[in-house]
Structure 1
Amino acid sequence: MSSETVAIVGSGVSGLSAARYLAANGFQPTIFEAYSDLGGQWNRANPKSGVWPQMRTNTGKFATKLSDVQYPAGTALFPRNGEVLAMINEFAEKFALRRCIRFNSTVTRLERADAGYSVTWTDERGEEHTARFDRAVVASGRFNKPEIPAIPGLDGFTGAGGVVHTFDYKEPERFRGMRVLVCGGSISSLEIASDQAMGGAASVSLAQRRQRFVMPKMVAGAPLEYFVFTRAGALRLADTPDETLLADAKELLLRIGGNPARYGAPAPHDDLAKAGVTGSQHYLNLIAEDRITVRPWISHLEGNIVHYLDGTQEETDAIIVGTGFDLNLPYLDDEISDIIALTRKGMNLSEFTFHPELPGLAFLGLWAQLGPYPVVLEQQARYLAYAWAGLAPMPTESELRDGVRRCIQENHHTGYREQHEMAIRFAKLAGTDPAGVVNERLAAVLEKSAVTGEMFRIVGPDALPDAAARLIADFDAHAPLDVQRELAEAISPVLASRG
């Protein structure tokens, strides 16, 4: 086992997962955390967190956790943000990760040095320190630098509620009684518009560049993950023509969410690739109830008057902007930034993790994604740790260069990846994908299951004896009833034939 030192930037889910698996394989991780506590985005007291007090997950708890820990009995299907943070803390305590963390340590520079990497950071007193490490992991998060759109007049907005990005939406109650405009079609925008419409705003409008299809987070008592983020769905992505995938996805979206136009929203583009997808449980129903008004994008502002591209206008008291985030890695030195071709939206890496010209450096969780991150981040951390430890093949330099070329050709950091595809991608690389090594009954459940962390603890390094039972229990509790019936009918003849 290795005794090499590893610097990890960030103590969110990705950084903690990396530390857990690196430490288990003999590495000596040191986590640098700018804040005074761990948790990253899920610690809403952290200035770099975009979580608001009442926020609950929009993804099921079975896919919004790490596989080494469980939520307490009685936890709601969609946990409160504080419950997610408690889960992360339990994970950190279980593996004694706090002792690895330098809190109040802001990394200001990461550069190559002496066949390793040099990290410079400032402590809570503002004093600067530098240390060398054998390896380094960039895990400081994808969503901590809000992108503000260039709207003429936005800087001079005079509404009493001002302008705030969804990232800084910390006091929902201060907008009560106000005319609120939310800008953007992301999940956060729709959730905040819904929050305001149900929370006492005088009126709520939402301005968007295009109408997207909207996915609810529950369909007939089953979580969305069991419809759109299944193992079978991920495996189809590899060998099905794009046209077929888009047609099937559109049919599913219309079946589970309906056409937004039927609720009173604009009709989305007929081409799903141009329309796009977003999600919210309440948004479309609130439009149907005339509690949210959908507007086109903004032309310009004059004082507190918003002028829209269709020539209409309205007065508003507060603007909440939800137009995304720029990639924020200011501590990478120019050499590293140039090698990975860093932009405000992405970088060029092999399998989202390594670069052939930067041995000993890894990047975790720095892409935009549809679906919950924890399962994917856990699998990427395992891939990283196992590759460095020799438990999984470390790509050769030639393979890494091929990976970078694929990244460029396939635009890995453009648009959104999908949770199920990314989790299986990393599990295959880590040697933890259960394909072909489980019995027929379990294989049938796996195919129809949402992609969860337990799926990748059945075989391979760090397998858990109860992982399959936990996955089946989640399936029985949450999979659509018709899927469960179909599976039972398909399995019964097989079991009967074996006596």
Structure 2
Amino acid sequence: MADGSAAFALPRVCVIGAGSSGIATCKQLHAAGIPFDCFEASDRIGGNWVFQNRNGMSSAYRSLHINTSRDKMAYSDFPMPADYPDYPHHSQIATYFDSYVDHFGFRDRITFQCAVTWAKRREDGLWEITLETGEKRLYDVLCVANGHHWDPRWPDPKPPGRFDGLEMHSHYYIDPASPENLRGKKVVIVGFGNSALDLACELGRKENADEVYLSVRRGYWVVPRYFGNAVLDFFNNHPSQDPPLLSRILPAKWSARILENKIAAVHGRPEDHGLPKPDHDFGASHPAISHELYNRIGSGDVAIKPDIERFDGRQVFFKDGTSVEADAVIWCTGYKITFPFFDSATMDAPDNDIALWKRMVDPRFDNLFMVALVQPLCAMMPIAEEQSKLIAAYLTGRYALPDAATMARERDDMHQAVKSHYVASARHTIQINCGEYAYDLRKELKKGIKRAKSAGNSLPIPARAVKVLPLAAE
């Protein structure tokens, strides 16, 4: 923290989190010469991609690989190594993030093993940040990149009855032997996201669990990792590039139907493999990605069951009237969006529902930015990068935000459009189409640059926090 003797022309920024999104923000701030401090609860960068992260927030399991391809996951100005596979292992991704930070040279701006426990916007507009050490600091701007895949969401309400076996959330799963030994056991997995399918396929191998049942509440689309020898997202540009012209011209439903028919022709439809038929159009929900599921179902390694009706001891009863005896139930029911360092008046997401302008800004605050608070149909890293470019342009005076009324109107329009397009679910409240979203951010950046020029390119946030010494610990 500055000692008060130096004067910075640009506002000082606090970044919460040094995961994949936090470091994207740090890089853009660093490149723009904006002074910042980043606080990370763990002892290293990488967040969710650090296997068994000491902060306890990582949901990575031992066998985890990315589900978007290597080239589409990478930051636009730092490609992943060419010898990485199409779908790298989590350990390779963590190494990549380390290399990114060192390549751009801002590791010294990250304070490790130092969580932010409280963030309060004072009446004068400054952010008062309390660290786990008890120290308080003042900042002109706050960027929040704490992620939203770390606070497990359990079913509420749970099915009635008592289950006498093991219950765990997928967040705590490591491998078939940890944290509980599931080898030779009968396991019910609840959910149909990527984690649910990965766990079902891994445990379905006979050297692992004895029997695996996948409980599916409704029909979902399954997307393979490959089309022939091409990765699943071969037809998309990197989010840093404008979407192909055809995808901008065609209505979204047409594009979705073309992809749906392509998948069906190569891999069949979900109902062809014993899964419930989707009750919604392709693209109206986040698809599950798996190249192995249909093989496991067809081999008898994974049995499909409907939603759970009730428990009775070790018996699990399903809504189709069938039941199985189980040793364990794994809930793959997603995560809650929570901000443990905010009071609910500052920022809250009841039922995971939160509406922000461009998925980033609450119009009440011109110096608070939420980074990567989205559910993308691509990797998060390029999205955080595009958001951070806009933030850096704003803090240097090159870009001006719209007025609060305009932001509120555009926020509500976008939020309602998402709700009308996607299946009503806690999973889809912050959904984005990556190409469209990133393209829209770049268009907004151009508009805001014109607004800034009209206003004289003045700094929107004055550098005031540097004039105040860090507040003493209480």
What TM-score do the two structures reach when normalised by structure 1? 0.78
Structure 2 residue aligned with 1:163: 167
The answer to whether 1:414 aligns with 2:429 is yes
Q: Secondary structure at the match of 1:132?
A: strand
Structure 2 residue aligned with 1:134: 140
Q: Secondary structure at the match of 1:108?
A: strand
Q: Secondary structure at the match of 2:342?
A: coil
User: 8 Å contact 1:145–1:327 — kept in the other structure?
Assistant: yes
Equivalent position to 2:339, from 301, 306, 329: 329
Give the superposition deviation at 1:65.
1.9
Structure 1 residue aligned with 2:373: 366
CA distance in 1, matches of 2:430, 2:10: 38
User: 8 Å contact 2:149–2:336 — kept in the other structure?
Assistant: yes
Equivalent position to 2:258, from 248, 269, 277: 248
User: 8 Å contact 2:11–2:395 — kept in the other structure?
Assistant: no
Equivalent position to 2:31, from 24, 27, 37: 24
CA distance in 2, matches of 1:374, 1:234: 20
Higher RCO structure (Cα 8 Å, ≥6 apart): 2
The answer to whether 1:203 aligns with 2:211 is yes
Alignment of structure 1 residues 327-366 onto 2, 5 Å: 327-337=337-347, 342-366=349-373
The answer to whether 1:226 aligns with 2:234 is yes
Amino acid in structure 1 at the alignment position of 2:169: H
Q: Secondary structure at the match of 1:48?
A: coil
Structure 2 residue aligned with 1:292: 302
Identity over the aligned pairs, expressed in percent? Answer: 24
CA distance in 1, matches of 2:329, 2:271: 25
Deviations 1:383-423 (A, max 9, x none): 21122223344333343233223234324762632232233
Structure 2 residue aligned with 1:144: 150
User: 8 Å contact 2:273–2:298 — kept in the other structure?
Assistant: yes
Amino acid in structure 1 at the alignment position of 2:173: Y
Equivalent position to 2:383, from 376, 396, 401: 376
Q: How many residues align?
A: 422
CA distance in 1, matches of 2:335, 2:29: 29
Q: Please report the RMSD computed on the Cα atoms of aligned residues, expressed in angstroms.
A: 2.5
Structure 1 residue aligned with 2:5: none
Amino acid in structure 2 at the alignment position of 1:248: I
The answer to whether 1:216 aligns with 2:224 is yes
CA distance in 2, matches of 1:369, 1:36: 27
CA distance in 1, matches of 2:190, 2:346: 35
Q: Secondary structure at the match of 1:79?
A: coil
Amino acid in structure 1 at the alignment position of 2:189: V
CA spacing shift, 1:136–1:377, aligned 2, 3 Å? same
Structure 2 residue aligned with 1:428: 443
Q: Secondary structure at the match of 1:172?
A: coil
CA distance in 2, matches of 1:296, 1:56: 28
The answer to whether 1:404 aligns with 2:379 is no
Give the superposition deviation at 1:249.
4.1
Structure 2 residue aligned with 1:86: 95
Q: Secondary structure at the match of 2:13?
A: strand
Amino acid in structure 1 at the alignment position of 2:33: G
Q: Secondary structure at the match of 2:99?
A: helix
CA distance in 1, matches of 2:318, 2:284: 21
User: 8 Å contact 2:21–2:380 — kept in the other structure?
Assistant: no
Q: Secondary structure at the match of 1:74?
A: coil
Unaligned 5+ segments in structure 2 are 1-7, 420-427, 448-474
Amino acid in structure 2 at the alignment position of 1:364: V
CA spacing shift, 1:232–1:350, aligned 2, 3 Å? closer
Amino acid in structure 2 at the alignment position of 1:203: E
Give the superposition deviation at 1:360.
1.0
CA spacing shift, 1:271–1:418, aligned 2, 3 Å? closer
CA distance in 2, matches of 1:221, 1:320: 33
Structure 2 residue aligned with 1:493: none
Unaligned 5+ segments in structure 1 are 433-499
CA distance in 2, matches of 1:366, 1:316: 36
Amino acid in structure 2 at the alignment position of 1:356: P
Structure 2 residue aligned with 1:185: 192
User: 8 Å contact 1:33–1:106 — kept in the other structure?
Assistant: yes
Give the superposition deviation at 1:278.
1.7
CA distance in 2, matches of 1:94, 1:246: 38
User: 8 Å contact 1:215–1:278 — kept in the other structure?
Assistant: yes
Equivalent position to 2:312, from 302, 314, 331: 302
CA spacing shift, 1:233–1:287, aligned 2, 3 Å? farther
CA distance in 2, matches of 1:215, 1:256: 11
What TM-score do the two structures reach when normalised by structure 2? 0.82
CA distance in 2, matches of 1:81, 1:144: 16
Deviations 1:158-196 (A, max 9, x none): 22xx11211111132322211111100111111110111
CA spacing shift, 1:229–1:308, aligned 2, 3 Å? farther
User: 8 Å contact 1:2–1:389 — kept in the other structure?
Assistant: no
CA distance in 2, matches of 1:79, 1:281: 15
Structure 2 residue aligned with 1:385: 392
Amino acid in structure 2 at the alignment position of 1:224: L
